[in-house]
Amino acid sequence: MTANQVWVFVEQRDGKPADVSFELLSKGRKLAESLKGDLKSVIIGHHVKDIARETFSFGAKEALVVDHEALEHYNTMAYSRIMNELVTEHQPRIVLYGATPIGRDLAPRVASFTRSGLTADCTDLQISDVTYLKKQYPKLLLQIRPAFGGNIIATIISPDSPVQMATVREGVMEMVPLKKPVNGKLTEIPYRPTPEDRLIEVMERHYAESKVNLKVAPIIVAGGYGMGSKENFQLLYELAHVLGAEVAGTRAAVDAGFIERERQVGQTGVTVRPKLYIACGISGAIQHRAGMQESQKIIAINNDPDAPIFEICHYGIVGDVMEVIPRFIEVYKHKLK
């Protein structure tokens, strides 16, 4: 049994795999290559063997599948117990989870049981030899995340933890399927229920398919706390309408109630890579930049010439957004005529 396995917990809801799991498999494949180890997927649910096979297209050499009627929907107690047992038995070197409501419910329980290091909301993962407190640690997982209000970027390591765990938000890693799937092995693991599995029961589930999909929008008009109010955000919707764009916001704008949370871009929101990102009244905290700095072109509009957003934008306009945007719409419409 190799100790260099990289595992990805593949999350499903109503039999549909989460995008973030395939993104993590894509990243996990590279980590496994650096470790000279194998990438494996773990799928818990009911009728999930097709999902297991899909992970072979992302390089999983083996899919560990626990398939049972009682496991159709995520259940904290049953899922965490299964993961606890699998991780304890196989001792993978790395386990990755999506930083979704399911991943954030599950990962800490498994990390606690196995006493593993767990780092939340990583924006990058790398493998590197590390010297820490004068000790050499070959091929550790570097878990990189902004911290402390975005003033610093921290690299977290779990040097003495046999299993290193991390969660990553959806969209942060790129989804890269292989041209040819690997010839993976599907291993079925029997489900043996315990009374504790039933301490929690999900009685009802109500999900609306999200109307917004920022990840596929070619143009995004985003507003920050500097927009000032929910009413002023209307202007962004007008601009977005004219440009055929989606509207997004920073965490500060979401927290202030200017815009709904599903439109939040940044470390704890969505990561986007549009053709054009128009940042309006956004100062440019690192957490926000983590979610948008790979945009092809960035326009920044801000009345503070020293705002950090100007350091990463391609085109900058120093001015009052409430004046610049209506003028922008007017000039744009005029030119299109």
Partner 1 sequence: MGYRSIVLVKQVPDTANISGEVMKPDGTVNRAALPAIFNPEDRIALEIALQVKDRHGGEVIALTMGPPKASEILRECLYMGADRVYLISDRKFAGADTLATSYVLSEAIKKLGDFDFVFAGRQAIDGDTAQVGPQTAEKLGIPQITYVDQIVELNGKVVTARRRFDNGYEIVRSQLPALLTVIQEAAEPRPFKATRLMTYKSAKSLMELEKMVEGNPLLSREDLRHEYEERGLFIPTLTMDELKLDESRCGHSGSPTKVFKVESVVLAGGEHEKFEPTREGLDRLITKLMEDRIFG
CB of 243 to partner 1, least distance (A): 7
**Which 202-231 residues touch partner 1, going by CB under 8 A?**
202-210, 219
CB of 118 to partner 1, least distance (A): 6
CB of 149 to partner 1, least distance (A): 4
Phi, psi angles (nearest 5°) of residue 270: -100, 150
**Which 112-141 residues touch partner 1, going by CB under 8 A?**
112-113, 115-121, 130, 132
Closest CA to 187 of 328, 43, 63, 34: 63
Q: Which of the ranges 26-34, 178-186, 228-236, 305-313 carries the binding residues for partner 1, by CB under 8 A?
A: 305-313
Q: Which of the ranges 36-44, 50-58, 87-95, 327-335 carries the binding residues for partner 1, by CB under 8 A?
A: 327-335
Q: Which of 28, 37, 59, 150 binds partner 1 (CB under 8 A)?
A: 150
Q: How far apart are CA 69 and CA 16, in angstroms?
A: 16
The token duo for 170 is 């959806």
Residues in the chain: 337
Residues 6+ apart with CB under 8 A from 228: 281, 322
CA distances from 313 to 180, 200, 266, 294, 297 (A): 38, 48, 16, 11, 7
Residue number, 109 or 273, with CB nearest to partner 1: 109
User: Counting contacts by CB under 8 A, is residue 2 touching partner 1?
Assistant: no
Residue number, 65 or 82, with CB nearest to partner 1: 82
Instruction: Taking the CA atoms of 187, 83, 208 and 280 in sequence, report the sign of the dihedral they define.
Output: negative
The answer to whether the CB of 329 falls within 8 A of the CB of 238 is yes
Q: Which helix (H) or strand (E) holds 50?
A: helix 49-54
Q: Which of the ranges 45-53, 56-64, 97-105, 230-238 carries the binding residues for partner 1, by CB under 8 A?
A: 97-105
**Which 14-53 residues touch partner 1, going by CB under 8 A?**
none
Q: Which of the ranges 42-50, 52-60, 181-189, 317-325 carries the binding residues for partner 1, by CB under 8 A?
A: 317-325
CA-CA-CA-CA dihedral for 175, 177, 182, 185, to nearest 10: 50
The answer to whether the CB of 24 falls within 8 A of the CB of 173 is yes
Quick note: the x/- pattern for partner 1 over 50-89, rule CB under 8 A, is --------------------------xx--x---------
Residue number, 241 or 327, with CB nearest to partner 1: 327
Residue number, 192 or 314, with CB nearest to partner 1: 314
DSSP, res 65: E
